[in-house]
Structure 1
Amino acid sequence: MPESNPIPGFYFSVIFELLPQFSVDTKFQSVNGLKVTMETESYTEGGQNKFKHNLPLRSGYQDLVLKRGLTSDMSGLSMWCNQALENFVFYPANLVISLLNEKGNPLKVWYVSHAIPLSYELSDFDAEQNKIVIETITLKYNFFKELPVPNF
């Protein structure tokens, strides 16, 4: 029977529909940007001064931000970003983001459609601090939707 406890957000996976894809391409420190908002248009009704009507127009999706520690491993994701940002050759990719249980099985799954890289950033290099270099990849996408997950 499924549990109704809140799901912790620290155990997750991100899988791109890209080739080539290496093991480092599924490991991220954080995922941010699964957010949808409704754009509205205000309409003032004649004779009604107490409020304006807000009519829904379309949905809008926030940029997806992925962060991970930089490694010396080969990365298909980095090659994909370089193709787009350096050579202006864009291959939109779909991805699946999953929250996992303690056994590694998905509890919640979201499908992200038609993502393209917007930016690629490395954190500061600082000889006075012993910090991991963080790679930040920002993506623009068309939409995301939750996929049904069978109970395990």
Structure 2
Amino acid sequence: MADDGSTQSTSVWPLPKFYFQVKWDSEVMSFQEVSGLDVEAQIIEYRAGDNPVFSATKMPGLKKSGNVTMKKGVYKSDNKFWTWFSQIKMNTIKRLPITISLLDEEGGTTMVWTLTNAWPTKITGTDLKSDGNEVAIETIEIVHEGITIDNP
């Protein structure tokens, strides 16, 4: 008898990455792409002078997160990126929590990345072409003070 998939384990297949949601503070925004959800521990190399082993020991150091890049379509009268960016004054900016959620087929949350104290560092407007046939896309680069991952 052929397997119809009804008894298949839910842990067999990895999750698709195309159904996600982004919340800025409490507002839900639509994006085409989110990238840069990474974190790393810097390496500290140390070798004591009287160590008989002639190589350095590697230890974990400070944690470092990369900038998160988000891309979305340009809509008429939608200036949220520019409004937030224009609030930058000397050493001050409104910092927001940003939550990125990977969703299942019913729209339930399967994985959540939370950016702490996020603020915009760069905005790239769309390129313009007289013979182009693409949607206008703008990009924002976000700096943050840490990323947490939750699997509800």
8 A Cα contact 2:125 2:138, kept in partner: yes
The residue that corresponds to 1:134 in the other structure is 137
Does residue 44 of structure 1 match 2:47? Answer: yes
Q: 1:112 aligns with which of 111, 115, 136?
A: 115
8 A Cα contact 2:102 2:112, kept in partner: yes
**Cα gap change, 1:73/1:107 in structure 2, threshold over 3 Å: closer, same or farther?**
farther
The residue that corresponds to 1:6 in the other structure is 14
The residue that corresponds to 1:60 in the other structure is 64
Deviation at 1:148, TM superposition (A): 4.2
Find the aligned partners of 1:74 and 1:122 in 2 and give their Cα distance.
Answer: 13
AA aligned to 2:118 is A
8 A Cα contact 2:126 2:137, kept in partner: yes
Unmatched runs of 5 consecutive residues or more in structure 1? none
Unmatched runs of 5 consecutive residues or more in structure 2? 1-8
Identity in percent: 25
AA aligned to 1:127 is S
Deviation at 1:145, TM superposition (A): 0.9
The residue that corresponds to 1:146 in the other structure is 149
TM-score (norm 1): 0.83
Equivalent residues in 2 for 1:63-142 (5 A)? Answer: 63-84=67-88, 87=89, 89-142=92-145
Provide the aligned length of Structure 1 versus Structure 2: 140
The residue that corresponds to 2:3 in the other structure is none
Secondary structure in 2 matching 1:116 = strand
The residue that corresponds to 2:6 in the other structure is none
Root mean square deviation, CA, Å: 1.9
In our comparison, the structure showing a higher alpha carbon Rg is 2
More helix by share: 1
